[in-house]
Amino acid sequence: MPLSINTVTYRELACEYLWNGAPRICAGAFLAFLLTLAFVAPSFSTPQPPRAAGGASGHGLGMKLSKPDLSRRIDRRSYGLDSIPLAASIDLSASLPPVKNQGSYSSCVGWATGYYAKSFYEKKEHPTWDMTDERRQFSPQFVWNGINGGQNEATSIYDALRFMEQNGNTDWEQFPYEGSNYAEQPNSQSVEAAKQYKISDDWGYFFSNISFPNYYNNNISDLKAWLSSGKPVVLGIPIYGDFPDFGSNPSSSFYDYDGSAEFEGGHAVFIAGYNDNAGGPGQGGFLMINSWGPTWNGAGRVYLSYDFVAHYVPEAWYMSDMDSTPSLSSISPAGGEPGQLVTVSGSNLGADRRSSRVGFDGGASGQVVSWTNSQVKVRVPASARSGVVYAYDWNGEKSNGKAFAVGKGSYAAANWLLAEGSTWPGFDEWVLLQNPNSQASNVSIAFLTPGGPVDGPGVIVPALSRTTVHVNEYVPNADVSTAVTVTSGASICAERAMYFSTPDGKWGSHDSIAAEGVADTWYLAEGATWPGFDEWILVMNPFDRTVNVSVTFQTPGGEIVGPELSLAAGTRQSVHVNEYAPNSDVSAKVWCTTSGYGIVAERSMYIHTPDGKVGCHNSMGATEASGAWGLTEGATWPGYEEWVLVANPTSKDAVADFFFLTPDGVSEGPAVTVPAGRRISVRVNDYLPDSDVSTMIFTRSEDMSVVAERAMYISSPDGKRGAHNAPGSIYSSMDWLLPEGCTSPGFDEWVLVMNPDEDVTANVQLTFMTPQGQVEGPTASLPPATRTTFHVNDYVTGDVSTRVTSEQYVIAERAMYMNSPQSKTGATCSLGVITSPPAKTHNGVKPKYAFCNR
């Protein structure tokens, strides 16, 4: 699952509540505020439930008040509502489906949100859609049935919006409206189809009162500004006995409550605009689209007077939509023979229905074995050619493409890819293979050099053990990338470790886990080219054709354009960053410009600085920017210098908040601004000295994304010396693998585990896998929002891989310090590998953001 940490909860260590979008009020002040409110606010009547369904003339109602949730109140400033010019009239109804009739059922909330609002936003995204086509009208029944508990009962707008954020909505033809089917639940196809059409988590209310009916003083100017910006509103309104075309009342194009008619019940309605003169000169009203049929009140609509909305309407809601375009993130494996089963992963893939398919180069579609919104399993068609694969949704809308190689000429189908590697004099390279399964695995290894691919060994990795491959024995005196492919048996994990003592003075060791496949873009947050820092970016092309690559650098002073590369099939290249961005802190973005194809990128640094930093470190890049990052390892004890590097590869400035998790709990760190195209460095020792520490980073809003890494420089009183680095993680998991590890004489190994959940204790089990088999390790209970450390030398001796399991979601890393009789020296660190199934994690972290002013 995504990192369960919640920025609001961490922030509540200092500030407890958000009120009306203003600075958050600390707990004591808020209590005093509530006590004051109790004396000055008018008394509210007891909330009244809606009348039974099928009121006057058989018109259904069905809206009950939403629960109070202050975090959902609109932040007026962030939307700039005061600066939106107000037209005299707005009418957005041209983007709506036809007016229809809910009948006598209590389904109005589903109609206002699921039918009108969701259909409106999809029409805006797909301007050519014909809204009279029921495949393009969204289902009120799907939403209502998802929140009504199987009963013909009133529901809240809050619950409907939350439901569509979490589950989406499907179309009318897929899940048609029949009011009497209020207990029907969708089949699996409808569930997957709906996931393509979720709303964003950016929804909430303009006003939400706590009693109903009553007299209020609502701000309706915000509603007009929102509508003027081209976005609709959903109201929860009271229906009184004087409502137009209700019972024996006549029709009327304008409604203003007479102040005495009897309350009939609550009703959810869609607001498509306003007119300042709807009821005559100076008599303004909001354009309401009803769900009582096209003949109600003449055309299914009425203007609600400004006075009625300001003083009698209890709540007004807004929502924002998400892009529903299909998108591919990976194909695994990225190559294969006709008939082979491949997994196409991505988002907004919808369901296996209508025109949905996976198209291969050559014009044929793969035979579908299974289809969900995030993953499709298909067999490669007989006529497929090497090229680009696309997914098409039910409407034939096409995704981005991903390269797929048909035949045996590509290494892109490898299970694990390692871009860095060198076997020149003084470079000692090892590939570590961990098998966490009860079945042995047969593995083939290939090495990709600047001159092309070189076949490596075939090895057997026994069950519940690990195997080591010394790369120097197979490709001496070469720059080398590595492709690891399981040819039979269970899946494995791979990592690479390197040790240095070179003629030109490079000294130490570095390490990285392998990449599970290629990506279009790689982000490398760390980097420095100051005197004493020697930085290299390593790029690998595992495909059977040439690909082109661009590199840019993000520095504190702005972005620098880097080199353009052309990588021949099955090769790797090195970029010396010092030549392009000298004397600077520097992050990098590396991306494949050959459409549909991808690469693997890492960064290595060699350090011998005037201030005493020595060693080297390495990291695989990150394939996406995010609003949340977790970094498990960290220490600020004497002799440990820790830096967190944050890059912003996007076009929007980002504000990032730091939190430090220690064995004793959470400490609040700095808030930093990372301008677009730049990077910043945070020295953790300045904020939390003399501690073991994990780091959590959150941006201030969900549209701000950054990339984070951590670098450490060590010269400790007990003789540890060197440097290490690891990327942050945007995922937590219940199962982590750490393929590398050694506790032989001169090797000091530590496993670091962080529990990012602020509410739940995580019980953790370590299991060790050695060349001789599996060894049970220690257990520990991690309180909420803490980290702990395991000294592996206390449990096993020799080469060792580690598995970290928990019934809660955690993040794991491994750090090692070396000064061996074989002259291996320095320090290494690596993030763990998340095990399958991939459903254990989700793409990205989207908490609900709310912050104190700094």
pLDDT, tens digit, 9 for 90 and up, residues 349-366: 999 999 999 999 989 999
Looking at the structure, tell me whether residues 303 and 387 fall in a common domain. Answer: no
Distance separating alpha carbons of residues 652 and 388, to the nearest angstrom = 31
pLDDT on residue 334: 87
Three-state DSSP class for 621?
coil
- Same domain? 72 vs 157: yes
- Specify if 234 maps to a domain: yes
Query: pLDDT confidence of 210, banded at 50, 70, 90?
Result: very high
Quote the domain boundaries for residue 346.
327-406
Query: Does residue 780 belong to any structural domain of this protein?
Result: no
Once rounded to an integer, what is the mean pLDDT over residues 319-338? 92
Please identify, among 361, 383, 406, the residue that sits at the C-terminal boundary of a domain: 406
Q: Are residues 163 and 131 in the same domain?
A: yes
One domain for residues 228 and 361: no
CB 789 within 8 A of CB 752: yes
In a shared domain, residues 220 and 347:
no
Q: What is the pLDDT of residues 673-697, one digit of tens each?
A: 999 999 999 999 999 999 999 999 9
**Confidence category of residue 51, pLDDT binned at 50, 70, 90:** very low
Cα–chain center distance at 471:
36
Q: What is the pLDDT of residues 176-201, one digit of tens each?
A: 999 999 999 999 999 999 999 999 99
Other Cβ atoms less than 10 A from the Cβ of 32: the count is: 11
In a domain, 132, yes or no: yes
**One domain for residues 386 and 268:** no
Q: Report if residue 217 sits inside a domain.
A: yes
Query: Rounded distance, CA 11 to CA 2, Å?
Result: 19
Task: Identify which has the larger pLDDT, 20 or 442.
Answer: 442
pLDDT in tens, 305-326: 999 999 999 999 999 999 999 9
**Residue 167 binned pLDDT confidence (cut-offs 50, 70, 90):** very high
| 385 in the same domain as 284 | no
What average pLDDT does this structure show over 241-267?
97
814, part of any domain: no
Residue 334, domain CATH: 2.60.40.10
Q: Quick check: 2 pLDDT over 60?
A: no
Helix (H), strand (E) at residue 714: strand 707-715
d(CA 786, CA 659): 11
Q: Which residues contact 789 (CB under 8 A, 6 or more apart)?
A: 663, 692, 750, 751, 752, 753
Residues 658 and 672 sit within 8 Å (Cβ to Cβ): yes
Q: How many folded domains does the chain comprise? A: 2
* 195 and 152 part of one domain: yes
- The CB-based long-range contact list for 276-280 (8 Å cut-off, 24+ gap) reads 276/88, 276/89, 277/88, 277/89, 278/89, 278/253, 278/254, 278/303, 278/305, 279/254, 279/303, 279/305, 280/254
pLDDT at 843 over 80: no
Least confident window among 35-44, 482-491, 551-560? 35-44
Residue 16 CA, chain-centre distance (Å), reads 26
Q: State whether 276 and 363 are in the same domain.
A: no
List phi, psi (to 5°) of 63.
-105, 125
| Of 801, 809, 810, the residue nearest 777 (C-alpha) | 801
Q: Give the pLDDT mean for 335-356.
A: 92
Q: 25 falls in which pLDDT band (50, 70, 90)?
A: very low
Q: Is the peptide bond before 457 cis (omega within 30 degrees of 0)?
A: no
Split at pLDDT 50, 70, 90, the class of 408 is low
Among 313-322, 372-381, 408-417, 756-765, the least confident range? 408-417
Name the amino acid, one letter, at 713.
Y
Q: How many helices and strands (H and E) does the chain possess? A: 10, 48
Q: What tokens does 37 get?
A: 């409110």
| pLDDT value for 47 | 41
Mean pLDDT of 542-550: 93
Instruction: Report the percentage of the chain scoring pLDDT > 90.
Output: 81
Q: Over the chain, what is the mean pLDDT?
A: 90
Question: In terms of pTM, does the model score above 0.85?
Answer: no
For the segment 809-818, what is each residue's pLDDT rounded down to a tens digit? Answer: 999 999 999 9
Last residue of a domain, one of 359, 376, 406: 406
> Per-residue pLDDT for 18 more than 80?
no
Residue 473 lies in a domain: no
Separation of alpha carbons 575 and 559, rounded Å: 17
Q: What is the pLDDT of residue 701?
A: 83
Judge whether 707 and 603 are in contact, CB under 8 Å: no
Does 538 map to a domain? no
86 and 179 together in one domain = yes
Do residues 394 and 274 both lie within one domain?
Answer: no
Q: What is the pLDDT of residues 734-777, one digit of tens each?
A: 999 999 999 999 999 999 999 998 889 999 999 999 999 999 99
Distance CA 644, CA 695 (A): 9
What integer pLDDT is reported at residue 82 of this predicted model? 93
Cα separation, 356 vs 344, in Å, equals 13
139 and 219 belong to one structural domain:
yes
Residue 492, pLDDT > 50, answer yes
Concatenated DSSP letters of 729-753 = BSB-EEEEEE---B-STTEEEEEEE
Residue 572 lies in a domain: no
- What 3-state class would DSSP assign to 368? strand
Q: pLDDT at position 57, please?
A: 63
The arithmetic mean of pLDDT across residues 817-837, rounded, is 86
Answer with the residue of higher pLDDT: 142 or 3.
142
Cα gap 518→699, rounded to integer Å:
27
pLDDT of residue 409: 66
Which of 376, 406, 436 delimits the end of a domain?
406
Model pLDDT, residue 837: 40
Residue 46 has pLDDT above 80, yes or no: no
How many residues are recorded in the chain? Answer: 854
As a whole number, mean pLDDT of residues 264-272 equals 98
Q: Which tops the pLDDT comparison, 733 or 471? A: 471
What is the CATH number for 99? 3.90.70.10
pLDDT in tens, 568-619: 999 999 999 999 999 999 999 999 999 888 899 999 999 999 999 999 999 9
310, two tokens = 């300001």
Residue range 512-537: mean pLDDT, rounded:
95
pLDDT at residue 853, rounded to an integer: 27
Taking alpha carbons only, the member of 146, 154, 148 closest to residue 266 is 154
Q: What is the pLDDT of residue 455?
A: 94
Residue 702 has a pLDDT of: 75
| End-to-end Cα spacing for the chain | 31
